[in-house]
Structures are given as structure tokens and as C-alpha cells.
């Protein structure tokens, strides 16, 4: 348990950041899942729309450090590749 004033404050900040990062990670996973479901359904228009909505969420989670920058970039790239390979709508 934290004893000093600064350690108590650091513990509070860690708890607050943990909650924020959990929310961001949940939003990331939900947006990726929506794209994957649209791909599985075979609807290219829906998949493209879901990817367009998911891309800024994924990139932002990489920028703030919830996931690594390059992992976020790789996720976007692989989803875009799968949507592009679906063929004509």
C-alpha cells in the first residue's frame, strides 16, 4: 500500500488511466469485430463502411499507447486487405 503522498497520488492516477485504457481497448475490439462480422457476412459495402469507422479508432489507440503503434497499423492494413479482396459489391 502506498505510504507517501506522491505514491498515493500515483496510485490514483494509475487507477484512472487503467479505466480509460480499458474503455479504449474495448472500443478497439468492438470496432474490429464489426469489420470482421461485415466481412463474414459477405457485404462489401458494409465492410468498407465498418472499416472506415474503425480505422480512426484503431490508429488513435496506437497513438495513445493502448496498443503498439505498429500493431495498430498492422491491424488496419490486414483488415483493409481483407475488405479489398472481397470483390465487387
72's grid cell: 495498430
- Kindly give the interhelix angle for 44-63 and 69-84, rounded to the nearest 10 degrees: 170
Query: Helical H runs in 42-88?
Result: 44-63, 69-84
Q: Where are the domains of the chain?
A: 5-84
Identify the band that residue 2 occupies on the pLDDT scale cut at 50, 70 and 90: confident
The torsion of the CA quartet 79, 85, 88, 89, rounded to 10 degrees, works out to -30
* Nearest-angstrom CA–CA distance, 86 and 89: 8
Q: Contact, 39 vs 21, CB < 8 A?
A: no
The pTM score is: 0.85
The yes or no reply on domain 5-84 and CATH 2.60.120.1310 is: no
Looking at the chain, the whole-number percentage of residues with pLDDT higher than 70 is 98
Amino acid at each position: 500500500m502506498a505510504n507517501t503522498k506522491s505514491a498515493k497520488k500515483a496510485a490514483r492516477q494509475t487507477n484512472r488511466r487503467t479505466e480509460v485504457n480499458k474503455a479504449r481497448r474495448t472500443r478497439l475490439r468492438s470496432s474490429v469485430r464489426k469489420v470482421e462480422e461485415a466481412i463474414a457476412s459477405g457485404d462489401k459495402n458494409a465492410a468498407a463502411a465498418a472499416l472506415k469507422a474503425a480505422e480512426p479508432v484503431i490508429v488513435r489507440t496506437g497513438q495513445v499507447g493502448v496498443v503498439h503503434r505498429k500493431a495498430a497499423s498492422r491491424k488496419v492494413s490486414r483488415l483493409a486487405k481483407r475488405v479489398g479482396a472481397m470483390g465487387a459489391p
